[in-house]
Structure formats: structure tokens, C-alpha cells
Amino acid sequence: MDLNYSQDELAFRDEVRAWLEANLPRDLRDKMASYAHLSKEELLRWHKILAKKGWVAPAWPKEWGGTGWNVVQRYIFEEELGYVGAPPLIPFGLTMCAAVLLQFGTEAQKKRFLPRIYNGEDFWCQGYSEPGSGSDLASLKTKAARQGDHYVVNGQKIWTTLAHYADWIFCLVRTDPSGGKRQEGISFLLLDMKSPGITVRPLILMDGAHEVNEVFFDDVKVPAENLVFEEGKGWTVAKYLLGYERMNTGRIGESKRQLAKLKAFAAPMMKDVRFRDRLSRLEVELMALEITNLRFLDRMRRTGQPPGADVSMLKIKGTEIQQGLTELMMQAVDPAASDELSVSIRKRYLSMRKTTIYAGSNEIQRNIIAKMTLGL
């Protein structure tokens, strides 16, 4: 096992770092630094800058616009994006739906959707969670009944991130409600958000932001050609997709940037032994997380296989570190102050409470590790 970067990989990191420093627009960098919420137009502006460079979808095959980078180069790129403070590349199209289409989609589906995802012409969201079916996703109740050449979808999704921006949504739906094992009878559908019968209702979070939504489906007609893989085999697709989603929730580069920022403005707090101890522990945990991530990368580099169930470790520890950093930031500022820094840190603290819940709660991730990795 080799956890060190080669000279070529270090040169690649320097190339990426220099390009990002030169090409990330100052206004977007400043908004990210102040924890401001970005509009759809701002998110897509950065997406299109990277698409023009040819760097927006590094993991895709070269025939569809990928870079041809290996897994270590892709990891370096993602971490440099976080470290420089670049706007997020919304994963629902680029990382999640695209991975599913490349693995399970028909040639027609790939030709129809992948170029538009790459160029930022279609904005996607994810339709997984429902009221009562979040981490227990197999209990979902949204139904899709086949009627000739289309499906009719009825039900509700919730906590749907950026659905108010989305042109398309990929959904898990129940196409066979006859019973049996809960994971059976679930299918994976692609829905046009402009379809009659789709209603998006905002959910305002603790930090006052409109980021997530409820999405209602009332007799929504979906062409049968928008079914991905086989009817009733959507759980296979969902498991494949979730491995990639959880690999990206560690956000080590972003946490390194937040740690450096915390050290800068919390210097007066370093006299407090307890504060200094908590900060040191978080820094050590972040270093350990990075080493663990590199272990996964080394295994993927050697085997060519996607991440397994143990990738949940990255999700658990990564999100706990993200929350720990915001807790220390809150301790380092006046919680009642009205200056820009204090207000932005309070909002970020509230926003980051969700990280241990999304992509499957951390309690569920521990169950996955216990069952799939430890055999308990």
C-alpha cells in the first residue's frame, strides 16, 4: 500500500492549484468565503468555466468528455477545489445520475442526457427520501404504474435539495407493490420537472435558507423510455449510486480550508487549554480521515473496483469533523454579535447540523459497516 503522492501526482496537484487560483472568479470566491448561498446562475457559471476547460467531469469516460485522470488525480482535483474555496459542483447530475447512466443506461439515454449534463444545460436533483422513508429508503411509497408506453407516478419526495432549480429529477419509485422483500419492486425513473402534475414546495431550514423542498407527483406521466435498467431492479441502481455519493461527503479539502480559517480568527482562543485541545483533536482526526481516504484510493487504483460498504467510514467521520469545526467557530465568536463574520458563522453552524443525516444518517452508516464489512 502506497499512501504517498508520486512526483507526477505532486506536479499535477501544482498544475491544478495554479489554474484554480487564476480562473476562479473573485466574486464567487468571496461569496463562498462568506458562506453566502449561490444562485443557480452562479453555480452554473462555475460549472461552465470548468466544462470549457474540460475538467467538469473527470470521472467520466473520455468518449463522453472525461479527463482520463486516474482515481488519485481525480481525488487531488476534488480536494483542491475544496481547498481553494470553489463553488460546489452539484453532484446530482455530474456524479450521481451520470454514474448511473454510464453503468446502467441505454445508448439512447446516454446520448440524450450526458452531453446536456456536461454542458450545464440540465440541472438535476435527487428524488429518494420521502416522509417516513429517509435512511430507511426501502420503505418508500411513491408509486409508478405502467400504462402502455408510459408510467403514471403518484407520491411525494422530501428534503429534495435544489429541486426549485432543477430541470430533471431521478427518482426511486415502487412499480410492484405486491409485497415480498421491500427492496424488490423498486425502479429508477427520470422525470422532467416541467411535467404536468409536479409541484415543488420550499422547506426553509434553520439558517433561513431555501435549499431543500417537498416535491409532489399527481398523476405524472413519464415515458417508459425514461426507465433506467430493468423494472423492479432499481435497488441495484440505488446501491451503486450511494457508494459514489458517500465517497464524496468527506470533503477533506474543504475541511482543511475551514480549519485554516478557524486558526486565523480564533488565535486569541488558543490561550484556552480546552479550546486548544479540541482544535488539536479535530486536526488529528482530519489527518486520519485523509489517510483513510488515501487507503480507499489506493485500493481503487489497484483493483479498479468502485468503493464498497466500508466507504461509509468517510461519510461518518467527515461529517462529524465538519460539524466539529463549526462548533469551534461558534465558540470563537460572540454569538450575539451582528458583524458579518459572526452572522455568517452562525448560519453555517445551523446549516451544517444536517451533514450527519443526509446521504443516509451516520447511525445507518454504522449499521452498514457492521453488517456488510464486519459481518455482525
- In tens, the pLDDT along 9-36 reads 999 999 999 999 999 999 999 999 888 8
Active site residue 290: no
Question: Residue 321's Cα: distance from chain center in Å?
Answer: 16
Which triple of cell numbers denotes residue 54?
Answer: 474540460
Q: Tell which of 35, 62, 89 closes a domain.
A: 89
Least Cα distance to 177 among 152, 149, 145 occurs for: 145
**Which residue of the set 245, 283, 320, 327 is catalytic?**
245
Same domain assignment for residues 70 and 143: no
CATH number at residue 304: 1.20.140.10
Same domain assignment for residues 171 and 263: no
Per the model's pLDDT, the better-predicted residue between 339 and 118 turns out to be 118
Most confident of 3-7, 223-227, 368-372: 223-227
Same domain assignment for residues 68 and 128: no
Residue 117, domain member (yes or no): no
Contacts of 59 (CB under 8 A, 6+ apart): 66, 74, 95, 99
Residue 244, domain member (yes or no): no
Residue 169, domain member (yes or no): yes
Domain range enclosing 259? 249-373
Q: Tell which of 89, 116, 139 closes a domain.
A: 89
Same domain assignment for residues 300 and 226: no
Is the per-residue pLDDT at 112 higher than 90? yes
pLDDT of the residue at 15 = 97
Residue 360, domain member (yes or no): yes
The total number of structural domains that make up the chain? 3
Residue 94, domain member (yes or no): no
Per the model's pLDDT, the better-predicted residue between 333 and 300 turns out to be 333
Same domain assignment for residues 368 and 256: yes
CATH number at residue 186: 2.40.110.10
Answer left, alpha or beta for residue 368, where phi above 0 means left and psi between -120 and 50 means alpha: alpha
Residue 57, domain member (yes or no): yes
Most confident of 60-69, 263-272, 297-306, 326-335: 60-69
Q: Tell which of 89, 113, 144 closes a domain.
A: 89
- Read off the pLDDT of each residue in 340-345 and give the average, rounded to a whole number: 87
